[in-house]
Amino acid sequence: MCTNHITVAGIREVSLVDMIGHPCYVIWLPGCNFKCPWCQNTHVVEGRTVIEVSIEELRRELEEASKIVDYIHITGGEPTLHPALLSKIFSIAKDVGLKCSVDTNGSNPKVIKDLIAKGLLDHVAIDLKSSPYRQENLSIVAGIPRESVRDVWKRIILTLNYSCRNGLEVEARTTFVPGLLSLEDILDVGRWLKEEFGEYKIIYVIQQFNPSPTVRDPNFRRVKPTPRSILLDAGLKVKELYGLNVYIRLIEETLKL
Protein backbone atom coordinates (compact mmCIF):
# COMPACT_ATOMS: atom_id res chain seq x y z
CA MET A 1 0.00 0.00 0.00
CA CYS A 2 1.34 3.39 -0.98
CA THR A 3 1.96 5.58 2.07
CA ASN A 4 -0.08 8.37 0.48
CA HIS A 5 -3.08 6.15 -0.24
CA ILE A 6 -5.24 3.64 1.56
CA THR A 7 -7.24 0.72 0.16
CA VAL A 8 -10.77 0.20 1.47
CA ALA A 9 -13.76 -1.88 0.43
CA GLY A 10 -16.27 0.96 0.41
CA ILE A 11 -17.35 4.31 1.82
CA ARG A 12 -20.70 5.82 2.80
CA GLU A 13 -20.33 9.52 3.52
CA VAL A 14 -23.44 9.79 5.71
CA SER A 15 -25.26 6.92 7.41
CA LEU A 16 -28.18 7.13 9.81
CA VAL A 17 -28.42 3.37 10.40
CA ASP A 18 -24.94 2.07 11.30
CA MET A 19 -24.83 3.63 14.77
CA ILE A 20 -27.69 4.20 17.19
CA GLY A 21 -28.32 7.88 17.81
CA HIS A 22 -25.37 9.13 15.77
CA PRO A 23 -25.04 10.04 12.10
CA CYS A 24 -21.71 8.67 10.93
CA TYR A 25 -19.24 8.39 8.07
CA VAL A 26 -18.74 4.69 7.30
CA ILE A 27 -15.72 2.88 5.88
CA TRP A 28 -15.67 -0.84 5.06
CA LEU A 29 -12.36 -2.71 5.21
CA PRO A 30 -11.83 -6.02 3.36
CA GLY A 31 -11.10 -9.47 4.76
CA CYS A 32 -12.37 -11.47 7.73
CA ASN A 33 -11.13 -14.30 9.95
CA PHE A 34 -14.66 -15.68 10.32
CA LYS A 35 -16.56 -17.48 7.56
CA CYS A 36 -20.18 -16.99 8.61
CA PRO A 37 -22.40 -18.89 6.16
CA TRP A 38 -25.05 -16.15 6.41
CA CYS A 39 -22.58 -13.25 5.90
CA GLN A 40 -24.12 -10.41 3.87
CA ASN A 41 -20.78 -8.90 2.86
CA THR A 42 -19.01 -11.76 1.11
CA HIS A 43 -17.83 -9.39 -1.63
CA VAL A 44 -16.16 -7.28 1.08
CA VAL A 45 -14.76 -10.25 3.00
CA GLU A 46 -13.20 -11.71 -0.15
CA GLY A 47 -11.79 -8.37 -1.28
CA ARG A 48 -13.73 -8.34 -4.54
CA THR A 49 -14.71 -4.70 -4.07
CA VAL A 50 -11.85 -2.32 -3.27
CA ILE A 51 -11.13 1.33 -3.92
CA GLU A 52 -7.99 3.39 -3.40
CA VAL A 53 -8.29 6.73 -1.62
CA SER A 54 -5.55 9.30 -1.09
CA ILE A 55 -4.88 10.38 2.47
CA GLU A 56 -5.48 14.02 1.56
CA GLU A 57 -8.77 13.19 -0.14
CA LEU A 58 -9.91 11.26 2.93
CA ARG A 59 -8.93 14.14 5.21
CA ARG A 60 -10.92 16.59 3.07
CA GLU A 61 -13.94 14.29 3.06
CA LEU A 62 -13.82 13.82 6.83
CA GLU A 63 -13.48 17.56 7.40
CA GLU A 64 -16.57 18.12 5.28
CA ALA A 65 -18.44 15.23 6.91
CA SER A 66 -17.65 16.58 10.39
CA LYS A 67 -20.19 19.33 9.74
CA ILE A 68 -23.05 16.83 9.79
CA VAL A 69 -21.83 13.59 11.40
CA ASP A 70 -20.55 12.78 14.89
CA TYR A 71 -18.52 9.65 14.21
CA ILE A 72 -16.44 7.74 11.76
CA HIS A 73 -17.53 4.10 11.93
CA ILE A 74 -15.25 1.41 10.48
CA THR A 75 -16.70 -1.99 9.69
CA GLY A 76 -16.04 -4.86 7.30
CA GLY A 77 -15.25 -7.68 6.98
CA GLU A 78 -13.27 -7.60 10.19
CA PRO A 79 -11.51 -4.23 10.50
CA THR A 80 -9.13 -5.31 13.29
CA LEU A 81 -7.23 -7.33 10.68
CA HIS A 82 -5.82 -3.93 9.62
CA PRO A 83 -4.49 -2.36 12.86
CA ALA A 84 -2.13 0.13 11.19
CA LEU A 85 -4.85 1.27 8.81
CA LEU A 86 -7.32 1.67 11.66
CA SER A 87 -4.85 3.84 13.57
CA LYS A 88 -4.15 5.97 10.50
CA ILE A 89 -7.81 6.58 9.65
CA PHE A 90 -8.83 7.21 13.25
CA SER A 91 -5.93 9.63 13.75
CA ILE A 92 -7.15 11.68 10.79
CA ALA A 93 -10.70 11.54 12.12
CA LYS A 94 -9.60 12.79 15.53
CA ASP A 95 -7.66 15.61 13.87
CA VAL A 96 -10.87 16.92 12.29
CA GLY A 97 -12.95 16.52 15.45
CA LEU A 98 -14.77 13.24 14.88
CA LYS A 99 -15.30 10.47 17.39
CA CYS A 100 -14.28 6.94 16.37
CA SER A 101 -16.20 3.68 16.29
CA VAL A 102 -15.36 0.16 15.15
CA ASP A 103 -17.60 -2.83 14.43
CA THR A 104 -15.74 -6.04 15.32
CA ASN A 105 -16.29 -9.74 15.94
CA GLY A 106 -14.18 -9.26 19.07
CA SER A 107 -11.50 -11.79 18.14
CA ASN A 108 -8.55 -9.34 18.21
CA PRO A 109 -8.57 -7.74 21.69
CA LYS A 110 -4.99 -6.48 21.40
CA VAL A 111 -5.97 -4.22 18.50
CA ILE A 112 -8.85 -2.77 20.52
CA LYS A 113 -6.59 -2.35 23.56
CA ASP A 114 -3.97 -0.50 21.47
CA LEU A 115 -6.56 1.84 19.94
CA ILE A 116 -7.90 2.64 23.40
CA ALA A 117 -4.37 3.28 24.70
CA LYS A 118 -3.78 5.74 21.84
CA GLY A 119 -7.03 7.56 22.58
CA LEU A 120 -8.40 6.60 19.17
CA LEU A 121 -11.60 4.77 20.11
CA ASP A 122 -14.87 6.03 21.61
CA HIS A 123 -17.41 3.39 20.63
CA VAL A 124 -17.26 -0.31 19.85
CA ALA A 125 -19.93 -2.58 18.38
CA ILE A 126 -19.18 -6.23 19.14
CA ASP A 127 -20.95 -9.02 17.27
CA LEU A 128 -22.00 -11.78 19.67
CA LYS A 129 -22.98 -14.35 17.09
CA SER A 130 -24.25 -17.16 19.31
CA SER A 131 -24.96 -18.22 22.89
CA PRO A 132 -22.02 -17.82 25.31
CA TYR A 133 -23.46 -20.80 27.25
CA ARG A 134 -23.23 -23.08 24.22
CA GLN A 135 -19.90 -21.91 22.93
CA GLU A 136 -19.48 -24.80 20.52
CA ASN A 137 -22.29 -23.36 18.37
CA LEU A 138 -19.97 -20.54 17.34
CA SER A 139 -18.24 -23.01 15.06
CA ILE A 140 -21.40 -23.35 12.96
CA VAL A 141 -22.65 -19.77 13.17
CA ALA A 142 -19.25 -18.17 12.46
CA GLY A 143 -17.77 -20.86 10.23
CA ILE A 144 -14.64 -21.36 12.32
CA PRO A 145 -12.88 -24.61 13.33
CA ARG A 146 -14.44 -26.26 16.36
CA GLU A 147 -11.06 -26.57 18.08
CA SER A 148 -10.57 -22.79 18.02
CA VAL A 149 -13.93 -21.87 19.54
CA ARG A 150 -12.86 -21.76 23.20
CA ASP A 151 -9.90 -19.49 22.42
CA VAL A 152 -12.06 -17.19 20.27
CA TRP A 153 -14.59 -16.79 23.07
CA LYS A 154 -11.79 -15.88 25.49
CA ARG A 155 -10.68 -13.16 23.11
CA ILE A 156 -14.23 -11.87 22.66
CA ILE A 157 -14.56 -11.58 26.44
CA LEU A 158 -11.25 -9.70 26.63
CA THR A 159 -12.46 -7.26 23.96
CA LEU A 160 -15.63 -6.60 25.95
CA ASN A 161 -13.65 -6.18 29.17
CA TYR A 162 -11.19 -3.70 27.65
CA SER A 163 -14.02 -1.72 26.08
CA CYS A 164 -16.25 -1.55 29.15
CA ARG A 165 -13.54 -0.87 31.70
CA ASN A 166 -12.09 1.98 29.68
CA GLY A 167 -15.36 3.86 29.41
CA LEU A 168 -16.21 3.25 25.75
CA GLU A 169 -19.78 3.25 24.53
CA VAL A 170 -20.39 -0.47 23.98
CA GLU A 171 -23.01 -1.98 21.70
CA ALA A 172 -23.44 -5.75 21.57
CA ARG A 173 -25.12 -7.08 18.42
CA THR A 174 -26.68 -10.43 17.56
CA THR A 175 -28.18 -11.16 14.17
CA PHE A 176 -31.17 -13.47 14.66
CA VAL A 177 -30.56 -15.86 11.75
CA PRO A 178 -33.48 -18.27 11.18
CA GLY A 179 -32.33 -21.88 11.33
CA LEU A 180 -29.11 -21.02 13.15
CA LEU A 181 -30.29 -19.20 16.27
CA SER A 182 -33.33 -19.65 18.49
CA LEU A 183 -35.12 -17.47 21.01
CA GLU A 184 -33.17 -19.35 23.69
CA ASP A 185 -29.88 -18.21 22.12
CA ILE A 186 -30.97 -14.57 22.19
CA LEU A 187 -32.10 -14.86 25.81
CA ASP A 188 -28.77 -16.50 26.64
CA VAL A 189 -26.86 -13.53 25.24
CA GLY A 190 -29.03 -11.14 27.23
CA ARG A 191 -28.56 -13.13 30.46
CA TRP A 192 -24.81 -13.36 29.91
CA LEU A 193 -24.49 -9.61 29.31
CA LYS A 194 -26.45 -8.97 32.52
CA GLU A 195 -24.46 -11.44 34.61
CA GLU A 196 -20.99 -10.58 33.30
CA PHE A 197 -21.29 -6.89 32.36
CA GLY A 198 -24.38 -5.69 34.21
CA GLU A 199 -22.52 -2.82 35.87
CA TYR A 200 -21.92 -1.25 32.46
CA LYS A 201 -24.54 0.37 30.25
CA ILE A 202 -24.20 -1.94 27.27
CA ILE A 203 -26.73 -1.51 24.48
CA TYR A 204 -28.00 -4.83 23.11
CA VAL A 205 -29.12 -4.78 19.47
CA ILE A 206 -31.03 -7.74 18.03
CA GLN A 207 -30.70 -7.55 14.27
CA GLN A 208 -32.91 -8.84 11.49
CA PHE A 209 -31.34 -11.24 9.03
CA ASN A 210 -31.96 -10.14 5.45
CA PRO A 211 -31.07 -12.46 2.55
CA SER A 212 -29.29 -11.00 -0.46
CA PRO A 213 -27.35 -12.21 -3.51
CA THR A 214 -24.07 -11.52 -1.65
CA VAL A 215 -24.77 -14.00 1.21
CA ARG A 216 -21.94 -16.55 1.40
CA ASP A 217 -23.95 -19.77 1.54
CA PRO A 218 -26.55 -20.00 -1.26
CA ASN A 219 -28.90 -21.82 1.11
CA PHE A 220 -29.19 -18.68 3.24
CA ARG A 221 -30.00 -16.55 0.21
CA ARG A 222 -33.36 -18.33 0.16
CA VAL A 223 -34.11 -17.87 3.87
CA LYS A 224 -36.83 -15.32 4.58
CA PRO A 225 -36.00 -12.27 6.74
CA THR A 226 -36.44 -12.81 10.45
CA PRO A 227 -40.08 -11.89 11.16
CA ARG A 228 -40.56 -8.56 12.91
CA SER A 229 -42.86 -10.19 15.47
CA ILE A 230 -40.17 -12.71 16.49
CA LEU A 231 -37.55 -9.97 16.89
CA LEU A 232 -39.91 -7.85 18.99
CA ASP A 233 -40.85 -10.82 21.15
CA ALA A 234 -37.18 -11.66 21.74
CA GLY A 235 -36.26 -8.06 22.50
CA LEU A 236 -39.14 -7.54 24.92
CA LYS A 237 -38.29 -10.77 26.77
CA VAL A 238 -34.63 -9.74 27.11
CA LYS A 239 -35.66 -6.33 28.41
CA GLU A 240 -38.20 -7.78 30.85
CA LEU A 241 -35.93 -10.52 32.20
CA TYR A 242 -32.60 -8.70 32.32
CA GLY A 243 -33.37 -4.98 32.21
CA LEU A 244 -30.98 -4.27 29.35
CA ASN A 245 -31.14 -1.32 26.99
CA VAL A 246 -32.51 -3.19 23.96
CA TYR A 247 -32.98 -2.15 20.33
CA ILE A 248 -34.34 -4.03 17.33
CA ARG A 249 -32.64 -3.30 14.01
CA LEU A 250 -34.93 -3.98 11.04
CA ILE A 251 -34.40 -3.41 7.34
CA GLU A 252 -36.18 -0.08 7.38
CA GLU A 253 -35.71 1.18 10.95
CA THR A 254 -34.19 0.71 14.39
CA LEU A 255 -36.62 0.48 17.31
CA LYS A 256 -35.89 1.20 20.97
CA LEU A 257 -37.79 -1.11 23.31
For the chain, which residues make up each domain, given as ranges? 5-256
3-state secondary structure of 92: helix
Short-list 1, 2, 123, CA closest to 74: 123
Per-residue pLDDT of the chain (257 residues; tens, 9 = 90+): 447 888 999 999 999 989 999 999 999 999 999 999 999 888 888 888 888 999 999 999 999 999 999 999 999 999 999 999 999 999 999 999 999 999 999 999 999 999 999 999 999 999 999 999 999 999 999 999 999 999 999 999 999 999 999 999 999 999 999 999 999 999 999 999 999 999 998 999 999 999 888 899 999 999 999 999 999 999 999 999 999 999 999 988 899 99
Report CA torsion sign: 119, 18, 154, 36. negative
Residue 140 is predicted with a pLDDT of 96
pTM of the complete model beyond 0.75 = yes
Give the tens place of pLDDT for each residue, 129-178: 999 999 999 999 999 999 999 999 999 999 999 999 999 999 999 999 99
- In this structure, are strands 24-28 and 51-54 parallel, antiparallel, or unpaired? unpaired
The yes/no answer on whether domain 5-256 falls in CATH 3.20.20.70 is: yes
CA distance 143 to 138: 7
CA dihedral (164, 237, 20, 194) in degrees, to 10, reads 0
3-state secondary structure of 162: helix
Residue 63 is predicted with a pLDDT of 96
